[in-house]
């Protein structure tokens, strides 16, 4: 449960104002078909985050030394700083999709590709390294993405004007920082 809860909270907050959330708003305003957009985001996130959690889990299993755990903790702290840097997405840049691709496929491909190397994907790798249950991590990070992106698709422009994105970014940064410090404290307690 801890992996699911932590993953959901971290990614839901980290996604606020992120380029993938901006992409979700852009897709919603361009296509005006929320159901296939939401389904495309769900499938893209499940695939992307499962692979990311698997990579994190595989790396953590191979490197169980304390230095690696400190590196993961430091990565969470670095994510705290990265979360404070707002993403920008060029709304004037036209969406490119394979010809004859429907809204679902356009969303699936665009969302999967834009999520590559994104802070929520990096967070998923770190969560996969931190927790043994990659299915709980994948479910949690996917749930966090959906919590952040479904309202963006459904309410798009109105949501962007009402939600204080900076406050949410600061909240996400504090959560990443707390997790990193908690890991360091947990490691420090086991040494000696």
- Digit-by-digit pLDDT tens for the chain (192 residues) are 889 999 999 899 888 877 788 788 878 877 778 999 999 999 999 999 999 999 998 887 665 567 666 776 777 677 677 767 765 554 445 444 444 568 899 899 888 888 887 788 888 998 998 898 999 999 999 999 999 999 989 886 665 566 666 766 676 677 778 777 877 787 666 544
Question: SS3 of 89, please?
Answer: coil
95 in a domain, yes or no? no
31 in a domain, yes or no? yes
8 in a domain, yes or no? yes
CB atoms within 10 A of CB 105: 15
Q: What is the pLDDT of residue 68?
A: 66
170 in a domain, yes or no? yes
Question: SS3 of 143, please?
Answer: helix
Q: What is the pLDDT of residue 100?
A: 56
93 in a domain, yes or no? no
Two tokens, residue 57? 């889990």
What's the rounded Cα separation, in Å, for the pair 150 and 103? 15
**Count of domains for the chain:** 1
128 in a domain, yes or no? yes
What would you report as the CA-atom Rg of the chain, rounded to the nearest whole angstrom?
17
DSSP for 23-78 reads: HHHHHHHHH--HHHHHHHHHHHHHHHHHHHHHHHHHHHHH--SHHHHHHHHHHHHH
55 in a domain, yes or no? yes
What's the rounded Cα separation, in Å, for the pair 24 and 98? 18
Closest CA to 175 of 84, 54, 114, 71: 84
Q: What are phi and psi of 30, to 5 degrees?
A: -80, -40
Cα distances (angstroms) measured from residue 141 to each of 3, 103, 157, 159: 10, 23, 24, 21
Q: What is the pLDDT of residue 44?
A: 96
Domain span at residue 74? 2-88+101-190
26 in a domain, yes or no? yes
């Amino acid at each position: 449960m801890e992996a699911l809860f932590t993953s959901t909270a971290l990614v839901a907050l980290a996604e606020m104002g992120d380029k993938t959330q901006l992409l979700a708003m852009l897709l919603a305003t361009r296509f005006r078909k929320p159901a296939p957009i939401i389904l495309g985001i769900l499938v893209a996130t499940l695939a992307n985050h499962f692979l990311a959690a698997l990579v994190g889990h595989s790396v953590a299993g191979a490197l169980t030394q304390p230095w690696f755990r400190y590196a993961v903790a430091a990565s969470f702290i670095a994510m705290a700083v990265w979360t404070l840097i707002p993403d920008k997405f060029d709304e004037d840049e036209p969406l490119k999709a394979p010809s004859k691709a429907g809204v679902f496929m356009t969303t699936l491909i665009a969302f999967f590709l834009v999520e590559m190397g994104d802070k929520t994907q990096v967070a998923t790798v770190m969560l996969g390294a931190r927790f043994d249950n990659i299915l709980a991590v994948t479910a949690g990070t996917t749930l966090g993405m959906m919590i952040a992106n479904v309202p963006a698709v459904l309410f798009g422009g109105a949501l962007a004007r009402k939600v204080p994105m900076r406050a949410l970014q600061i909240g996400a940064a504090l959560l990443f920082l707390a997790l990193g410090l908690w890991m360091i404290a947990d490691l420090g307690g086991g040494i000696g």
